[in-house]
Amino acid sequence: MEKRIKDFEDYAITTEGKVISYKYKQPRVMKTWLQKSGYENIKLCKNNQTYHFLIHRLVAEAFLSNPNNLPEVDHINGIKNDNRVENLQWISSKDNINKSYLTSGLNQIRNFCECLLIKSDTQEIVDKFHSITEASVFASENFGCSKSGLMRNLKSKGYEIKKV
């Protein structure tokens, strides 16, 4: 079964998570790719602009009712690229985080792992933090480092983060 994607009428999404383009003479199944995080992603075009979407979100919006207006989509079996409609459910942010703690463990998800902020040139330890985010915010506010650079690459402007 398939439904047209809201606001992108030249495209449809199936219950299996396939995106079909109707922009050409023959319908085409579009290629997707996996993000670093493991989620399947697609680009759709409209009015010469490109938009990025997560496949599981498109499937949920098309086929799952959301009477409680929950903000996030959960993969029931925990497999991030299993985007079949029967594997998806709407979930609150709090419940999604709690589920990720239960299934992955505290140190493996959401940047919650103890780490050290270190001066790169001297290897001097600046401080110990409970998360990469916490260390990145501290370095950004105190040393002018790029918060996003530290979170993404674990280094910025002469400082680096090392997981404990």
Q: Mind listing the pLDDT tens digit of every residue in the chain (164 residues)?
A: 999 999 999 999 999 999 999 999 999 999 999 988 889 999 999 999 999 999 999 999 999 999 999 999 999 998 999 999 999 999 998 898 788 767 665 444 455 678 999 999 999 999 999 888 889 999 999 999 999 989 889 999 999 999 88
Return the bridge partners of 51, or none. 44
CA angle 30, 61, 38 (to 5 degrees): 55
**C-alpha–C-alpha distance, residues 129 and 105, integer Å:** 18
Q: What is the DSSP string of 16-71?
A: TS-EEE-SSSS-EEPP-EE-TTS-EEEEEEETTEEEEEEHHHHHHHHH---TT---
Question: Residue 130, SS3?
Answer: coil
The pLDDT, as a whole number, for residue 127 is: 94
